[in-house]
Chain A
Amino acid sequence: MTAAAQELLVGASADFLRRFSPFNRMEPEALDFLAQRAVLAFHPRGSAILTPEMGQPRHFFIVQRGKIQAQQWGATTVTEYASMTLGPGECFPIGAISAQRPSTNAYIAVEDSFCFQISSDQFLELMQMSPVFHLFCTQYIASLLNQSRQQLQTSFAQRAAEQQTMTTQLGQLVKKAPVFVAPETPTRRALEEMAAQHLGCMIVADDDQRPLGILTQSDLLPRVVLAGFDLSLPISEVMTANPHQLPATASAYDAALEMATHGVRHLLVIDSDGRLKGVVSERDLFSLQRISLRQIRAGIESAHDVESLQRASRDIRQLALNLIAQGIGAEQLTQFISALNDALTRRIIDLALYTHNLYGIDYAWVAFGSEGRHEQTLSTDQDNGIIWQCPEMEDASQVRRRLVAFAREVNENLANCGFPLCKGNIMASNPELCLTLEEWKGRFGDWIREPDPQALLNASIFFDFRVLYGNERLGDQLRQWLNRTAKMNSAFLRMMASNALQVVPPLGRIRDFVVEDDGTIDLKKSGARLFVDAARIIALRTGVESSSTVQRLRQSAVRLGVPTEEVAAIIDGFHFIQLLRLRSQHLETEHDSPGDNRLDPDKLNELDRRILKEAFRQARKLQLRLKLDYQL
């Protein structure tokens, strides 16, 4: 008799659930499992069903009737859904319960509501039992990633929109109040003022703030220094009188035209009464122009000196910012950066080849480390080397000397273009890294045979190589040899794995994140590298030839039979960390402090913090895989 009742009531719950996704797609036995265990409870309007303070959620809820509001908890409610309303068929808390951590949202009944609930253990059981439900939960987490990305895009788009175009009125471009002196001011005082305030020019104006003249930095050499001008004389005697000026209502385009026509770099902006409002410089206008990929590319390829390449390098950074604003993800973004940096490096090599004759030498310029993986962020120093083959009848040491000399010029020019010289001297100009194919094989072979800590560290840098210029076949040969050799040495791979496992994801047991003394997380060391290291080992084991972390993960997953959605979640996690790195580097560089990989998790908004945790959890998953594979 009880059985009859159960059947009816379970059937009723199942019928209800079947009206909603993902339950309507759920496997019959999984739905039955859920319907049998789903307990119904009532939550009066205004009551809290689940809050972060309740600790790890003990139940998973499915709204049966009513409205539940998910509210972001804590001070930082800046995401697009500071609150979100859940109705019948919707469930919560997916992220918290699957990760077995407190919810980051508070769930409040905003109407009298009924919710089905199952225990967290039953939830986990259901996840295991039902691929449909599992996918649903994974995709939910992925959609959070998406949301965060969109949010990031919006905030950058906003900034891009704030960036004015060439139609902007000059009045809006003027940021600072003008600095000016009276015409009778002694020149020395005016120059001291310029130096103290780092001004490109000094304006001379009368008591009514009407501009009378201008003295720019470029005037100093011919008019003051070389002319032996007496600095005690009034500035009016050395200034350019009747300076070029435009009304505040003129456009940036008008200003650019004026400058181009008269060959001046500064223009005075005046208001309708002819009073000085400020100065615009050529550089102010230049930064207004949107830089396109094609333009930069063309700029790089036609560059004939390091100066124009320096400009291109700055443009690449600007482009990266614009690309984020246009909604490009970390993967494409790093690829773009990488592609442009490649082009820049190639052009630098081309230029160096004008002065260094390498004719007849078979060589390849290779990039190591992040550049070798196509994963350059904005602040990476150089890691490069050369693979070469000694031509017959030639003296190897002679050839090496020529190559090293050439490499030195390339390294220096790269440094001039914003790729700092490598502190560890991992550069092609280091004779130790300008090796023949056989020498590289010998070097790599030593590390594999005797994997001491230094060898393992080396492997983690040098095994991620890629040919940037020259004979690609040299790189292919080295890669194939390396994969074969590493695969045969399972002891080496095991050591690599054990080494990779020494850094763990900075997830705390009590607090969300384990931070370093300064309260930050190193997104490179304790973030991206966890993925990179694991991917390298898996790639060596499965013989994947790509040097990119994402490609390594994707391709080896196919070979190892890892489900696509599982590897996709890991890759999402990696991309998210990369995106945070890029973002922080952007923000950092805009404040003119050196870009680095440090992130204060407290400064993240709630959603990003949550996703970052999820990303670290994916790293942990990847590490777990290594642990199992190598029984560590």
Chain B
Amino acid sequence: MNWLTRLLPTRGDTPALDDELRTRLQAWQALAEPDLGRPHFEAAYTVLNTEATGLDLDKDTMLAVGAIRVDGGRFSPADGYYAPLSGQPAAALAGLLHFVGKGPVVVFNTGFNRVMLERALATHLDVAPTWQWLDLRVLLPALFPERIDRPARLADWMRAFSIETFQRHHALGDCWAIAQLFLAAQSRAMAQGAAHARALGDLERARRQLWRQP
């Protein structure tokens, strides 16, 4: 038993990790926590998106993950990550951890994506990242109520911004669209004074509370 598995909560079904993967996890663990108070134009976010066999969290499993880094309010096609989970899921997820770092992360619909990802990370790598999760499904109506003022589907938001993507329902294809939505969200948030990740988190919480009220 090596030091890493001692550090991590052990589970009986965690597959043994090879040296390379262990080194990667180790490097990831050693990363500093992000400063959530950095303004958007200086901060890096990772837009994450999962592709699963379906939308039922109990039955369906994750097929692939896509990620795009939004750094300083823009993103480059050279700065993306995509990995199917078939074959070597541990390696795919370790690569993702390496790509994302310590966050923050942006998804469309945390309810599904976060659960899918956290479950996969626990299963295959036995880690539970403490990322700050930002949910565009909540943030977009809060920021652009003049466009859609309720929880809506990704397709609706894409239409609202006439955003297209190269392949719908593909982990990276949708991720590309979500990343574009996030650029718009950042810009609007900035204009409204929500200049950093923490403020976006507050905005998201406030909106969730609003929705909970009758």
Q: List residues of chain A with CB under 8 Å of any chain B CB.
A: 1-2, 4-6, 8-13, 15, 35-44, 47, 65, 112, 114, 117
Contacts and interface: CB of A to CB of B under 8 A. Distances in A.
Contacts of A12: 77, 165-166, 176
Contact of A37 (B76, B83, B92, B165): B76
A445 B188 CA distance: 76
B184 A9 contact: no
A4 B95 CA distance: 12
A124 B91 CA distance: 40
B82 A1 contact: yes
Given A5-B66, A40-B74, A65 B163 contact: yes
Contacts, number: 85
B82 A4 contact: yes
Contact of A44 (B68, B92, B184): B184
Given A2-B81, A2-B95, A12-B77, 19 more contacts: A1-B91, A2-B82, A2-B99, A4-B82, A4-B83, A5-B66, A5-B80, A8-B80, A8-B166, A9-B80, A10-B77, A11-B166, A12-B165, A13-B77, A15-B166, A41-B74, A42-B183, A43-B187, A44-B188
Interface in B75-94: 75-78, 80-83, 91-92
B80 A112 contact: no
Contacts of B183: 40-42, 114
B125 to A, nearest CB: 15
Contacts of A117: 74
B166 A1 contact: no
A42 B187 contact: yes
Contact of A8 (B82, B180, B186): B82
Interface size class of B (residues with CB under 8 A): 20 to 34
A36 B77 contact: yes
Contacts of A1: 81-83, 91-92, 95
A134 B187 CA distance: 34
Nearest to A3: B82
A11 B73 CA distance: 22
B161 interface: yes
5 contacts: A1-B82, A5-B80, A11-B166, A40-B74, A42-B184
Central interface residue in A9, A35, A40, A117, by most chain B CB within 10 Å? A9
A9 B68 contact: yes
Contacts of A35: 77
Nearest to A38: B77
A37 B78 contact: yes
Nearest to B74: A41
Interface string B164-207: 01110000110010001001101110010000000000000000
Interface in B87-133: 91-92, 95, 99
Contact of B176 (A9, A36, A41): A9
B40 to A, nearest CB: 11
A59 to B, nearest CB: 10
A114 B180 contact: yes
B187 A39 contact: no
A65 B82 CA distance: 25
